[in-house]
Amino acid sequence: MPPPAALGPNARLIGQRHAREQLATPALLLDLDVFERNVALMANRCRRAHKGLRPHAKTHKSARIARAQLAAGAVGICVATVHEATVMVAAGVSGVLITSPIVGTAKLAMLERLLARRGDVTVVVDNIEAVAGLERSARRARRSLDVLIDIDVGMKRTGVPDVRGAVLLARRLATSSVLQYAGVQCYSGSVQHIVQAAARVRAYSRQLAHLERVLEALARRGHGARIVSGGGTGTFEIDRRGALFTECQPGSYVFMDAQYNAVEPVAHAAWPFKTSLYVQTMVSSNHYPRAVTLDAGLKSFAMDGPAPLPVRGAPRSARYQYFGDEFGRLVLPRGARPLPLGHKIELITPHCDPTVNLHDFYHCVRGDRLVDIWPVDARGNL
């Protein structure tokens, strides 16, 4: 646990009622009641389908949240980078799957240090040329290392693109004395945010058909996959009900965001997961009737999604516009009441993962009370 001074200027408000109104801004807010319901709900859905749940921590970058997911029944945690894995392992998180291929001497050295510290990690590989490096890291750390083959089903980002490549990789892994072939990973980032559920199901079905061919080819050659890990929040109802995956990797369900809220869920009239994450900002300048300047800009909100969505404190149909690093512009509807300096506005985050990466702290609230502050301890690049 970091000391209170390391938790920023709002640490002094922990435990206080009405603290929510007194926070220094811009502040990332986590509504704990909603967050806890989301965590329990996904765990139950996967349990009922007899699927493992390995939630993706790239969304939250928080060891504290990873532990909450494990406590609710997750079989482990996914992370995107060796850096995230290092933070999670140091915090005692087990079952860490690093979902990006690890190549290059520097990252392999970080992996070696992680293994030497008895970190419980699994890695993925998408290239036969990368196997020797993983073997070296494992051997130097005197550890065996579970490896999944990363399968590309259409993004062309990482993953083996063809059946033959997957089989060759499995054969290569089978000859290794320190690597254990444990199955495959398949993540289709490109379909998660297809707005219409029916279109998403169609596009995903074609991709899963390829995954099925890969799995069959592997099984025929004696490389049956013990673990088939993948999927996301946009496909979780397909992933948990289908026969292919043994475990699901959703991330955003803990928070939800403007991007996922704009997407039709599969098999539900409305998302069962509700928004738990907000950025609180305030009015910094207000000289004009139709727009005020807020103290949260592109240092507080990622720009790869839709615009942040003003909710609490904002007039109906007010719109947010980016206004530089430090500022946003809240465009007010005609006839809106003037907003005084210091007036607080809370906004739903545009895309939660990279927005969280901009912040150092979760300000955990229940109603108006600030219950705790959790560091975003795995944020950043290194």
- Nearest distance from residue 158's CB to a copy of itself, in Å? 4
Q: Which of residues 247-276 bind a copy of itself (CB under 8 A)?
A: none
Binding part of the chain for a copy of itself, among 115-123, 215-223, 236-244, 284-292 by CB under 8 A, reads: 284-292
Report the residue from 250, 313, 329, 345 that binds a copy of itself according to the rule CB under 8 A: 329
Burial of 254 per CB tally in 10 Å (0-12, 13-18, 19+): buried
Q: Which of residues 34-53 bind a copy of itself (CB under 8 A)?
A: none
Q: Does 342 bind a copy of itself (CB under 8 A)?
A: yes
Please report, for residues 88, 139, 309, 330, the alpha-carbon distance to residue 94 in angstroms, rounded to integers and kept in the order given.
8, 21, 35, 43
* Pairing of the two strands 291-294 and 328-331: antiparallel
Amino acid identity at 200: R
What is the distance between the alpha carbons of residues 307 and 354, in angstroms, rounded to a whole number? 13
Q: Which of residues 304-323 bind a copy of itself (CB under 8 A)?
A: 304, 322-323
Amino acid identity at 233: T
Q: Does 23 bind a copy of itself (CB under 8 A)?
A: yes
How many beta carbons lie within 10 A of that of residue 83, not counting itself? Answer: 18
Helix (H) or strand (E) holding 213: helix 197-220
Q: Does 9 bind a copy of itself (CB under 8 A)?
A: yes
Report the residue from 17, 118, 341, 368 that binds a copy of itself according to the rule CB under 8 A: 341
Report the residue from 353, 364, 365, 377 that binds a copy of itself according to the rule CB under 8 A: 353
Helix (H) or strand (E) holding 109: helix 105-116
Binding part of the chain for a copy of itself, among 37-45, 77-85, 177-185, 269-277 by CB under 8 A, reads: 77-85
Q: Does 81 bind a copy of itself (CB under 8 A)?
A: yes
| 243 Cβ contact partners less than 8 Å away, ≥ 6 residues apart | none
Q: Does 127 bind a copy of itself (CB under 8 A)?
A: yes
CA angle 321, 325, 330 (to 5 degrees): 25
Number of residues in contact with a copy of itself under rule CB under 8 A: 73
Give the distance from CA 234 to its chain's centroid. 12
Q: Does 357 bind a copy of itself (CB under 8 A)?
A: yes
Report the residue from 236, 293, 308, 318 that binds a copy of itself according to the rule CB under 8 A: 293
Report the residue from 51, 54, 60, 107 that binds a copy of itself according to the rule CB under 8 A: 107
Nearer to a copy of itself, 81 or 176 (CB): 81
What is the distance between the alpha carbons of residues 361 and 29, in angstroms, rounded to a whole number? 9
Q: Does 22 bind a copy of itself (CB under 8 A)?
A: yes
Q: Does 14 bind a copy of itself (CB under 8 A)?
A: no
- Nearest distance from residue 251's CB to a copy of itself, in Å? 11
How many beta carbons lie within 10 A of that of residue 100, not counting itself? Answer: 20
- Nearest distance from residue 166's CB to a copy of itself, in Å? 12
Q: Which of residues 233-252 bind a copy of itself (CB under 8 A)?
A: none
Q: Does 16 bind a copy of itself (CB under 8 A)?
A: no
Q: Does 345 bind a copy of itself (CB under 8 A)?
A: no
Backbone angles phi, psi at 149, to 5 degrees: -85, 125
Report the residue from 112, 126, 239, 377 that binds a copy of itself according to the rule CB under 8 A: 126
Q: Does 103 bind a copy of itself (CB under 8 A)?
A: yes
| 240 Cβ contact partners less than 8 Å away, ≥ 6 residues apart | 45, 46, 49, 51, 231, 248
Q: Which of 313, 323, 307 is nearest to 261 (CA)?
A: 307
310, 320 Cβ separation under 8 angstroms: yes
Q: Does 229 bind a copy of itself (CB under 8 A)?
A: no
Q: Does 54 bind a copy of itself (CB under 8 A)?
A: no
